[in-house]
């Protein structure tokens, strides 16, 4: 039996012929068109309880660039973007494109999001040199947004949340993660994400002025009359991309629920393993991250190869972590990353998909346990 790491499942365009014909008939293919407006409204209402608003982007990376550029407090001294090293390359690339230098911060050993005491410690020691904080809501886990909002005022810094994997995650109050937050929260709708389209992303924000600014920045920085009044690029989502988003939204609740069942099943099959501590009511799982026992971290590539020989796709996000990538190592600044190193060395990402069954989870776990005995 073959169990791939992911089975991307955007809505089938072949089932959307009527809607595609309507786009052809309208002659509108992009530029915040009517399908896009419907998607933004539907996302706001169905994932964020009607709070704030949504702005689609052609991918989360461009969304992050825009949001960081907008939030950054500029002065010749303020040049750092504080972020975890335990994240995807896009977080650091976005800060660099926005003109900042990533400063890597360690993570909490249980939640795997930036450790709050380290964040404050770095803000204190770097004082006026940090321009923006970019926390990553790791693997869809919630972060304490009030904490970051307070830091924004206390230290006069920008805040942008990288919530690439968080569409469908629910916070402690039962709201979609990020709902109504006054700073930009950026989500991915890439084909490999739980909210799968092809290439797309969305910025959610409770501050209508900020969202309007980001919308204009995403359209070449045009003010009302196609005159550039601010920094800009083209981040617009096509109408076909928006259609894929609307169609995914139809069954999204079921997708999230079925993956929660799979995550529970994984945890039941792997007693004694360390999983990420869930903050908030619910993580929308893209895959299932788990830590190997420390003594076996050196055998991880052997283990992945052994599982691959059995037809099971396993990854290790995020290893290497960003400070270990040659490009970022030369360009970025690093603080003490002891926990990041430990988690990154031991992390294993187990497969999940919309169509995966509990039986398949059992097979993955049995194969993992066998392979562990083999490599130990």
- What does the binding site for ligand PLP look like in residue numbers (CB under 6 A)? 59-61, 87-88, 90-91, 136, 162, 164-165, 188, 190, 201
95 vs 211 by CB, closer to ligand PLP: 95
Q: Measured from the CB of residue 159, what is the shortest distance to ligand PLP in angstroms?
A: 16
The dihedrals phi and psi of 80, each to the nearest 5 degrees, come to -100, 145
CA 123 – CA 157 distance, rounded (Å): 9
306 vs 350 by CB, closer to ligand PLP: 350
CA 4 – CA 362 distance, rounded (Å): 14
**Other beta carbons less than 10 A from residue 266's beta carbon:** 25
Q: Measured from the CB of residue 362, what is the shortest distance to ligand PLP in angstroms?
A: 28
Q: Which residue has the tokens 């990020």?
A: 178
Q: Measured from the CB of residue 21, what is the shortest distance to ligand PLP in angstroms?
A: 28
189 vs 216 by CB, closer to ligand PLP: 189
Residue 229, token pair as written in the block: 């009044």
Q: Measured from the CB of residue 235, what is the shortest distance to ligand PLP in angstroms?
A: 11
Strand segments (E) across the chain: 53-57, 80-84, 101-105, 130-133, 158-162, 184-188, 201-205, 274-275, 288-291, 333-334, 347-350
Q: Measured from the CB of residue 91, what is the shortest distance to ligand PLP in angstroms?
A: 5
Q: Measured from the CB of residue 354, what is the shortest distance to ligand PLP in angstroms?
A: 17
The residue among 128, 132, 104 whose CA lies nearest residue 118 is: 104
87 vs 131 by CB, closer to ligand PLP: 87
136 vs 252 by CB, closer to ligand PLP: 136
162 vs 171 by CB, closer to ligand PLP: 162
CA 2 – CA 360 distance, rounded (Å): 9
């Amino acid at each position: 039996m073959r169990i791939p790491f992911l089975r991307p499942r955007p809505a089938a365009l072949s089932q959307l012929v009527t809607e595609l014909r309507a786009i052809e008939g309208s002659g509108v293919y992009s530029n915040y068109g009517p399908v896009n407006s419907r998607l933004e409204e539907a996302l706001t209402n169905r994932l964020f309880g009607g709070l704030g608003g949504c702005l689609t982007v052609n991918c989360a990376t461009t969304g992050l660039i825009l949001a960081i550029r907008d939030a950054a407090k500029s002065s010749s001294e303020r040049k750092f973007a504080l972020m975890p090293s335990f994240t995807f390359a896009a977080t650091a690339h976005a800060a660099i494109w926005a003109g900042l230098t990533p400063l890597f911060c360690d993570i909490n050993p249980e939640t795997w999001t930036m450790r709050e005491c380290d964040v404050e410690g770095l803000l204190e020691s770097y004082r006026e040199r940090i321009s923006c904080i970019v926390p990553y809501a790791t693997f869809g886990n919630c972060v304490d947004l009030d904490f970051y909002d307070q830091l924004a005022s206390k230290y006069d810094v920008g805040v942008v949340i990288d919530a690439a994997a968080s569409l469908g995650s629910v916070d402690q109050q039962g709201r979609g993660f990020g709902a109504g937050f006054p700073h930009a929260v950026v989500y991915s709708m890439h084909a490999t994400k739980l909210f799968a389209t092809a290439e797309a992303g969305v910025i959610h924000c409770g501050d209508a002025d900020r969202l309007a600014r980001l919308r204009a920045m995403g359209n070449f920085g045009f003010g009302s009359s196609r005159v550039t009044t601010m920094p800009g690029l083209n981040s617009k989502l096509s109408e076909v991309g928006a259609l894929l988003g609307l169609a995914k939204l139809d069954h999204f609740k079921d997708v999230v629920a079925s993956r929660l069942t799979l995550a529970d099943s994984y945890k039941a099959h792997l007693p004694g393993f360390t999983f990420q501590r869930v903050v908030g009511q619910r993580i929308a799982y893209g895959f299932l991250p788990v830590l190997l026992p420390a003594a076996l971290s050196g055998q991880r590539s052997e283990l992945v190869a052994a599982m691959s020989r059995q037809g099971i796709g396993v990854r290790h996000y995020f290893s290497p972590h960003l400070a270990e990538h040659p490009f970022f190592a030369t360009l970025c600044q690093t603080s003490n990353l002891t926990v990041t190193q430990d988690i990154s060395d031991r992390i294993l990402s187990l497969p999940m998909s919309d169509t995966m069954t509990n039986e398949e989870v059992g097979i993955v776990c049995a194969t993992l346990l066998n392979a562990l005995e083999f490599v130990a």
